Chains A and B, each alone.
Chain A
Amino acid sequence: MATETTTVTDLAEAAERQRRLELKELLNKKYKWIDWKWDLVFWTTAIFVVAGAADITKQLFAGDWDFWTDWKDPQWWPVVTAFATIIIPSTLQYIQWAAWRFPTGATYTACCLFFAAWVGRYFQWDLAATYPMNFVWPASVVCAGILMDWTLMKTKSFILTSLIGAHVWAIAVWAYNYVPLAAFLQPAHFMDHVVTVADVQGIAYIRSQTPEYLRLIERGALRSFLGETQYVSLAFAGTAAFVGYWIGQFIGRYLAVWPIRRYLKTV
Chain B
Amino acid sequence: MGRRFVLGSERVNVSSNRYEMLDTFTLFGVLCVILAVVLANPPNVAAHGEAADEPFLKNMTTAFFNVSVSPTEIEVGEPVKVTGSVKILETWPHTLETPEIASIMPVVPGPVFVLKERFVNGTAAIGSFFAQKGGIYEFEMELVGKEPGDWHVHPGIAVYGTGTLIGPGEWVSVKPSDEPFSFPLTLMSGETIELSTYGGAFVWWWSFAGFVLGVAWILYWTTNKRTVTNLAVTVQLPVNDDAPDIGLITPRDHMWMNVIVGVTLVMLVVGWTYATSNAPVRWPQQTDWFTPEFISSGEKMAEARASEATYDEASETLEMKVQVTNVIESDIELKQLTMAMATFVNGPEAEQAKAGPSDFVGRLEVQPDGPIAPGENKELTLTISSSIFSEERLIPTQAPQQFIGAVLRFENGNDGHELVTVRSNVVPTQFRSTYLP
Task: List chain A positions with a Cβ less than 8 A from chain B.
Answer: 19-20, 23-24, 26-29, 31, 34, 36, 38-39, 42-43, 70-71, 73-74, 97-104, 107-108, 110-111, 114, 118, 129-134, 137-138, 140, 142-143, 145-147, 149-150, 153-154, 156-158, 172, 175-176, 178-180, 182-209, 211-213, 215, 217-220, 229
Contacts and interface: CB of A to CB of B under 8 A. Distances in A.
B278 A104 contact: no
Interface stretch (B180-188, B327-335, B337-345, B357-365): B180-188
B195 A153 contact: no
23 contacts: A27-B248, A34-B229, A100-B225, A134-B200, A140-B211, A143-B268, A146-B214, A150-B258, A158-B239, A178-B272, A179-B274, A182-B276, A182-B279, A193-B126, A195-B286, A198-B285, A202-B285, A204-B116, A206-B114, A209-B164, A211-B102, A212-B287, A218-B285
Interface stretch (B201-209, B313-321, B382-390, B421-429): B201-209
Contacts of A201: 195
Nearest to B198: A134
B128 A104 contact: no
Size band of the interface chain B makes with A? 35 or more
B239 A39 contact: no
- Chain A to chain B: the 10 pairs with minimum beta-carbon distance, closest first: A211-B158, A134-B200, A182-B275, A179-B271, A185-B282, A142-B214, A211-B103, A212-B127, A192-B124, A100-B230
Nearest to A72: B285
B168 to A, nearest CB: 15
Interface stretch (B1-9, B259-267, B300-308): B259-267
A183 B158 CA distance: 30
A162 B381 CA distance: 73
B156 interface: yes
A74 B284 contact: yes
Interface in B169-220: 183, 185-189, 193, 195-200, 202-204, 206-207, 210-211, 213-215, 217-218
A158 B147 CA distance: 51
Interface string B94-127: 0000000111011110111111111000001111
Contact of A180 (B117, B185, B203, B237): B203
A22 to B, nearest CB: 9
A99 B275 contact: no
A137 B210 CA distance: 15
Given A29-B229, A130-B147, A137-B207, A104 B197 contact: no
A127 B285 CA distance: 27
Contacts of B261: 146-147, 150
A110 B257 CA distance: 17
A193 B128 CA distance: 14
A42 B228 contact: yes
B188 A188 contact: yes
A77 B291 CA distance: 28
B7 to A, nearest CB: 26
Contacts of A157: 240
Given A42-B228, A145-B214, A208-B48, A137 B246 contact: no
B242 interface: yes
Q: A interface, by DSSP: helix, strand, loop or mixed?
A: helix
Q: B interface, by DSSP: helix, strand, loop or mixed?
A: mixed
A102 B114 contact: no
Interface of B: 48, 101-103, 105-108, 110-118, 124-128, 146-147, 156, 158, 160, 163-164, 183, 185-189, 193, 195-200, 202-204, 206-207, 210-211, 213-215, 217-218, 221-222, 225-234, 236-237, 239-243, 245-249, 253-254, 257-258, 260-261, 264, 267-268, 271-272, 274-276, 278-279, 281-289
A103 B249 contact: yes
Given A101-B243, A182-B275, A217-B285, 18 more contacts: A24-B245, A26-B232, A27-B246, A70-B285, A102-B227, A107-B218, A134-B199, A180-B199, A183-B199, A186-B279, A190-B126, A191-B118, A191-B125, A199-B285, A206-B105, A211-B160, A212-B127, A213-B289
Contact of A27 (B217, B240, B247, B272): B247
Contact of B285 (A43, A103, A153, A196): A196
A178 B282 CA distance: 11
Contacts of A29: 229
Contacts of A130: 110-112, 146-147
A183 B103 contact: no
Contacts of A211: 102-103, 105, 128, 158, 160, 164
Given A103-B249, A195-B126, A206 B200 contact: no
A71 B279 CA distance: 19
Contacts of B248: 27, 101
Contact of A205 (B111, B185, B215, B222): B111
Given A153-B242, A193-B288, A111 B193 contact: no
Contacts of B110: 129-131, 206
A213 B111 contact: no
Contact of A175 (B222, B228, B268): B268
A108 to B, nearest CB: 5
B281 A186 contact: yes
Nearest to B206: A180
Contacts of B108: 206, 208
